[in-house]
């Protein structure tokens, strides 16, 4: 999981007013719950690959969102800062939003934050994402 940036809580709070928000992480449930609680991240649900006994980009992980949240793949916007994750979500039938995270791999790390034509939405922060989605 990427380090929390100042826009996370504000952007997620805005998004949650209009949409159901959930994590879908490869990290274990206990670790994700601890991060969400510590950072005060406003999610409606916490889902992890552990529930599918697999890891992204396996389709079974994306199926968790369908099964647990009750939406069809095309009704779900997968938001991530990892292009491999969004490619797999798109192949599963989800819409995609890339949120650029310059510090994803820490200071001095190399991160590919370039926009791609296949993203449904590209944003440089969660606040920008909320604005782009009318939240």
The CATH number assigned to the domain holding 17 equals: 3.40.50.1000
pTM, rounded to two decimals: 0.91
CA 120 vs CA 36, 89, 103: distances in Å: 26, 12, 23
Instruction: State how far Cα 96 lies from the chain centre.
Output: 9
Confidence of residue 5 (pLDDT cuts 50, 70, 90): low
Structural domain includes residue 101: yes
Q: What is the pLDDT of residue 39?
A: 92
Give the least confident one: 4-18, 62-76, 121-135: 4-18
Q: What is the pLDDT of residue 104?
A: 79
Mean pLDDT of the chain, nearest integer:
94
Structural domain includes residue 2: no
Structure confidence by residue, pLDDT tens digits, 53-98:
999 999 999 999 999 999 999 999 999 999 999 999 999 999 999 9
CA distance 38 to 130: 22
Residues with Cβ within 8 Å of 6's Cβ and at least 6 positions away in sequence, in order, are none
Residues spanned by the domain of 117: 7-132
Q: What is the pLDDT of residue 99?
A: 96
Structural domain includes residue 89: yes
CA distance 108 to 102: 9
Q: What is the pLDDT of residue 1?
A: 44
The total number of structural domains that make up the chain: 1
Structural domain includes residue 1: no
Q: Percent of the chain at pLDDT above 90?
A: 87
CA distance 2 to 9: 14
Nearest to 85 by CA among 108, 106, 101: 101
């Amino acid at each position: 999981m990427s380090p929390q940036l100042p826009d996370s809580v504000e952007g997620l709070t805005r998004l949650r007013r209009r949409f159901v928000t959930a994590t879908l992480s490869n990290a274990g449930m206990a670790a994700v719950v601890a991060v969400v609680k510590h950072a005060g991240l406003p999610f409606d649900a916490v889902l992890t690959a552990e529930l599918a006994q697999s890891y992204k980009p396996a389709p079974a992980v994306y199926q968790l969102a369908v099964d647990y949240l009750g939406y069809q793949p095309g009704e779900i916007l997968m938001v991530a800062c990892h292009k491999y994750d969004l490619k797999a979500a798109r192949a599963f039938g989800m819409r995609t939003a890339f949120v650029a995270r310059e510090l994803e791999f820490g200071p001095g790390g190399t991160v590919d934050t370039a926009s791609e034509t296949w993203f449904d939405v590209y944003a440089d922060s969660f606040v920008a994402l909320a604005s782009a989605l009318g939240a």
